[in-house]
Amino acid sequence: MALLSRLRAVRIALGTRPSRRPEAPRSAVPESVAIIMDGNGRWARRRRLPTSAGHRAGAKALRRVVRAAGDMGVRDLTVFSFSTENWNRPQDEVDDLMVLFSELIDREVPDLDDEGVSIRFIGRLAQLDDALLAKIAEAEARTARHDRMRLFIAMNYGGRAEIVDAARRFVAEAGPDAPDEEFGRMARAPMCAH
Ligand code: IPE
Ligand code: MG
């Protein structure tokens, strides 16, 4: 994934590659980093491999990025993994991605737990299937106490969906008459990630 080489380049530029200097200067490391997964299909096509191989390679690269981010001292890492538009992909690919997410949770959560990383899933989760939702809930509960790094995985996310959901939540929490002159001040109040 191009992202990994970019991250590596940043690490070299900062002089924070483990082989050179194990401790990144704290001030040079962003507290929060967000990543949009992309390029899996192109990676596979270039190698004449099936798309599923690209997604698996992307997942492997992501695992290295998560570890590197934790080592560098990033506090919050957000990974945009499956958008509301991604449901429009061929059914085989969507099914394969759902299997992959489920396998990743099984395989990676024990390590994340050992590494002090808490995992939270954000987005319109209710549309995911029940078995995956159960795994998500279990993974979140298992790692909730950790604070070395917080890993947010965005599933079924979308810019429009977020605005609509935030507006709905605002009205649900503050009441239908709440949007008034104080709206801006209230809207900046922290909202929970789910
Ligand atoms: C991102 O890679 C993976 C997901 C959306 C899950 P893409 O599948 O979008 O890769 P390209 O853009 O086709 O190369
Ligand atoms: Mg893409």
Q: Is residue 43 one of the residues assigned to a domain?
A: yes
Q: Give this prediction's pTM.
A: 0.78
Closest protein CA for atom 5 of ligand 1 = 82
- Which domain range does residue 119 map to? 29-169
Q: Please indicate, yes or no, if residue 88 is contained in any of the structural domains.
A: yes
Task: Write the CATH number for 133.
Answer: 3.40.1180.10
Counting the structural domains of the chain, the total is: 1
Q: Does a structural domain hold residue 156? A: yes
Give the residue numbers marked as catalytic.
38, 86
In a domain, 176, yes or no: no
Residue 175, in any domain of the structure: no
Distances (CA, A) of 96 to 1, 53, 60, 62, 159: 19, 10, 16, 17, 24
Across the chain, mean pLDDT equals 87
User: Which tens digits make up the pLDDT trace of 59-81?
Assistant: 999 999 999 999 999 999 999 99
Cβ–ligand 1 distance for 42 under 6 Å, the answer: yes
In the structure encoding, which two tokens stand for residue 136, read together? Answer: 């998500």
For ligand 1, atom 13, name the residue with the nearest CA: 41
Enumerate residues 6+ apart whose C-beta is below 8 A from 60: none
70 CB contacts (<8 Å, ≥6 apart)? 77, 115, 116, 117, 148, 149
User: Is residue 67 one of the residues assigned to a domain?
Assistant: yes
46 within ligand 1 shell (Cβ under 6 A): no
Which pLDDT score is estimated for 15? 52
Ligand nearest 61 Cα, by number? 1
Closest by CA position to 75, among listed 28, 31, 116, 119: 31
Is 1 inside a domain boundary?
no
